[in-house]
Structure 1
């Protein structure tokens, strides 16, 4: 077989049970990623009292976790290109689940820090792989919406975990360990492995057209049995097989500019988001709120996260993603600043709710936008490197936050974070390419019925 025509064959498929099961599996992985990603933030106030951990030590553990995320992102792109999107998704999810379980048995802040670095590497790797996997399996006209739907479901892991933490952490000196045990349940993704399909576009990019065709035929048969006869796909466009994308590929202008832009997007998103989520419980506790109240208030604010992802699902395929990102980033900066300027519990919850809502909408939009700036050859590498550099940047973020808090006080932290979000919005507004017309053109190339 000379060409499997994977892109056009996938683009003309109606949404079916195959797509919905894939969505469920990816959402499951996302759920426990989001459940685990703030575990240290929710347990840090307790450890400050129990182990005498300092704000600076919290900063160091948080910073090193982002170094782990950087390496996880880079390694993920290699794994996804070499062993396939599906295998990489399962492997990275099992990785973070195993090391989250190991954190249950931590005996001091150093051992916990080591386990958190290794967990974070898996969390970031899983995210990169999941973004690519959804991008390559769903029709162009719908992939942004379903990327956002996966986040809508997955992001529920954040408020659920924070609410669980608010209940279990105060139970006793040992109870904080249950938060990490909860995050470890992501390993159960292995139960879905058999029904997940490898990306035909990955096979095709390697020149393995027979394997791509076999997977496509299986998918098409399942969809046709449910939805009826399928329309003919558009003719294939020739694309040379790719064995491996070397890192130097990103130095070409075609890949360098989107990589730099997405690096800014993920740097500002990472520092901006984790500046709030990683520090809010600790800083509120430091400002006089009890550990129980600080964790509970933050748990209430994260209830807005699924709504933000759902909002992104409503707008992502209707409007230009670039401008949606700019609008969301600006709103986050404003609400986050107001969050930091009040000590009223009701306003803390209200503005924190809005920050979480729009930030998770921003993240869902970013996950859909990022892989669209690359072709199949550069998609895994470009997405992984830009996302990884964003995570690496926050190795400095917690140290900056700790320095600002110790030197200038609580409110200076939120001025810094709001400024970070505004920088990202401005850079996207000025330099961000538009992708909607390209998506519409690809959708138009497929027959009606998508």
Structure 2
């Protein structure tokens, strides 16, 4: 076997049951990632009452969680290159599920912090691997749409978790622990193990064309059984096999520039997104709303999240992703600022809904855009490092939010967050590469004469 030709063989496949089952598995992992990422935010107001913790202590726990996310992201890229995309996806999901389960048995703020840092490391690691996995398993022309579809389903974990929290947290002094047990159910991804295939592009990048061909033949057989004979793939493009991508690889110009741009994208997205989602319940409670109302209002606003991901699915493969990201980022800044300038419950819910809608659309677009800026050799490393640096930046984000709130009040927090989103939108508009032409170039391949699958 000279060359498995994984990219072109995958690109000419029609969407089939194989793609849908893969989508379901990735969506399941995303669901509990999005569920678990907000568990501390939804329980923090209760812990302020029970344990007497301060806004500054909430900030420190949140900050340390992002240090965990950075470490998890960077490690995930290396592990995914060494062990494979499928195995690493399963391992990272198991990791965050186990430590979310442990969080339910925390006995003080220190123990909860340790468990949340480890949970966060697993959450970020899983996200990096899932983004890469979808990028490598779906045809180029529709991968953005299916990345967004996975988020549409997965993002439901946010409003569901907030609604679960709003229902169980007020019941008794101990029921906040049930929120963390809920987040641990991501462990059940192991039920999908036999339905997932290893990325043939990962096999191919290691020079193992025989294994890549074996996986591709298995996929092609199932697709051909469903759709009939498959069109011939385009001829392969020879690439040097890669067994390890050292960190210094990112210093090369072809990798450095996209890594820097994506770092800006994920830094501004992380500070902007978690500035809203992690702090809204606590700040509303501090401004006079009851714990029950603050959690409930935030739960209602997160209903917009799945709709935002669906909106991203409609536009992501039709337009340049960089312009979609810039537009969504600007809208988030405007709606988020209006959210922070009102204390009317109806307007809080309306603008919070719009913030969640556009934020989750932005996330889906970012997940599709990021790995497209790298070739197979640099994809895992570049995606993981830029995403990890974005998460690491928010180690400072909560401390800045707490300092602004304590010094200048509630509204100053939202001026800061809106400005952060605008910085990201401007950077993407000016420096973001266009990727649509490369994606649509695969379409003519489907016009070739069909051959037996």
Same fold per superposition (TM over 0.5) = yes
In 1, Cα distance between equivalents of 2:348 and 2:123: 28
State how 1:256-405 maps to structure 2 within 5 Å: 256-405=256-405
The answer on whether the counterparts of 1:8 and 1:446 sit within 8 Å (CA) in structure 2 is no
1:443 Cα deviation after fit: 3.1
CA deviations 1:260-305 (Å, max 9, x no partner) are: 0000000000000000000000000000000000000000000000
Describe the superposition over 1:299-343 as per-residue Cα deviations: whole angstroms up to 9, x where unpaired: 000000000000000000000000000000000000000000000
CA contact (8 A) 2:63 2:396 kept: yes
Is the 1:12–1:139 Cα contact (8 Å) retained in structure 2? yes
* Aligned match of 2:420: 420
Moved over 4 A (4+): none
Partner of 1:102: 102
Aligned-partner Cα distance in 2 for 1:282–1:219:
48
> How far does residue 448 in structure 1 lie from its aligned partner after superposition?
6.0
Instruction: Supply the distance in 1 between the matched residues of 2:447 and 2:131 (Cα, whole angstroms).
Output: 26
Query: Could you give the per-residue CA deviations for residues 143-165 of structure 1, whole angstroms, max 9, x where no partner exists?
Result: 00000000000000000000000
How far off is 1:108 after superposition? 0.6
Aligned mates of 2:110, 2:282 — CA distance in 1 = 18
CA contact (8 A) 1:233 1:447 kept: no
- Structure 1 spans left out of the alignment, 5+ residues: none
Q: Deviations over 1:323-370 (max 9, x none)?
A: 000000000000000000000000000000000000000000000000
Which residue number corresponds to residue 141 of structure 1?
141
CA apart distance, 1:430? 0.4
Distance 1:236 1:373 in 2: 20
Task: Tell me the distance in 1 between the aligned counterparts of 2:8 and 2:288.
Answer: 58
Assess if the C-alpha contact under 8 Å between 2:66 and 2:391 holds in 1: yes
2:226 is the alignment partner of 1:233: no
Give the drift of 1:377: 0.1
Alignment partner of 1:44 is 2:48 = no
Q: Is the 8 A contact 2:304 2:353 kept in 1?
A: yes
Any conservation in 2 of the 1:12–1:447 contact (CA below 8 Å)?
no
Compute the displacement of 1:440 (Å).
Answer: 1.1
Contact 2:280 2:298 in 1 (8 A): yes
Q: Distance in 1 between matches of 2:172 and 2:71?
A: 35
Normalising by the residue count of structure 2, what TM-score does the alignment of the two structures yield? 0.99
Q: Equivalent residue for 2:189?
A: 189
Q: For residues 445 and 18 of structure 2, what CA distance do their matches in structure 1 show?
A: 22
Question: Could you say which residue in structure 2 is the equivalent of 1:93?
Answer: 93
Instruction: Write the distance in 2 (CA, Å) between the matches of 1:85 and 1:446.
Output: 27
Distance 1:132 1:391 in 2: 17
The answer on 1:4 being equivalent to 2:1 is no
**Secondary structure of the equivalent of 1:170?**
coil
Match of 2:224 in 1: 224
- Residues 263 and 386 of structure 2 are in contact (CA less than 8 Å); yes or no, is this contact kept in structure 1? yes
Q: CA deviation at 1:444?
A: 2.9
By how many angstroms is 1:194 displaced?
1.0
Corresponding residue of 1:434: 434
Aligned length: 450
How far the C-alpha of 1:217 sits from its partner, in A, is: 0.3
CA distance in 1, matches of 2:38, 2:397: 15
| 8 Å contact kept, 1:32–1:183 | yes
Deviation for aligned residue 1:240: 1.0
Q: Distance in 1 between matches of 2:173 and 2:99?
A: 21
Q: Residue 30 in 1 paired to residue 62 in 2? A: no
Partner Cα distance (1:144, 1:424) in 2: 20
C-alpha distance in 2, partners of 1:440/1:11?
11
Q: Is the 8 A contact 2:137 2:199 kept in 1?
A: yes
- Separation in 2, partners of 1:309, 1:447: 31
Contact 1:73 1:124 in 2 (8 A): yes
In structure 2, the gaps of 5 or more residues are none
The answer to whether the 8 Å contact 2:232/2:449 transfers is no
Residue equivalent to 2:111 = 111
Q: Distance between the aligned counterparts of 1:448 and 1:410, measured in 2?
A: 60
Structure 1 residue 442: Cα displacement: 2.9
1:441, distance to aligned residue in structure 2 (A): 1.4
Per-residue CA deviations over 1:12-39 (Å, capped at 9, x if unaligned) read 0000000000000000000000000000
Preserved contact between residue 232 and residue 448 of structure 2 (Cα < 8 Å) = no
Task: Give the superposition deviation at 1:195.
Answer: 1.2
Change (3 A) 1:448 1:178: farther
State the TM-score, normalizing by the size of structure 1: 0.99
Q: Is 1:31–1:156's contact at 8 Å kept on the other side of the alignment?
A: yes
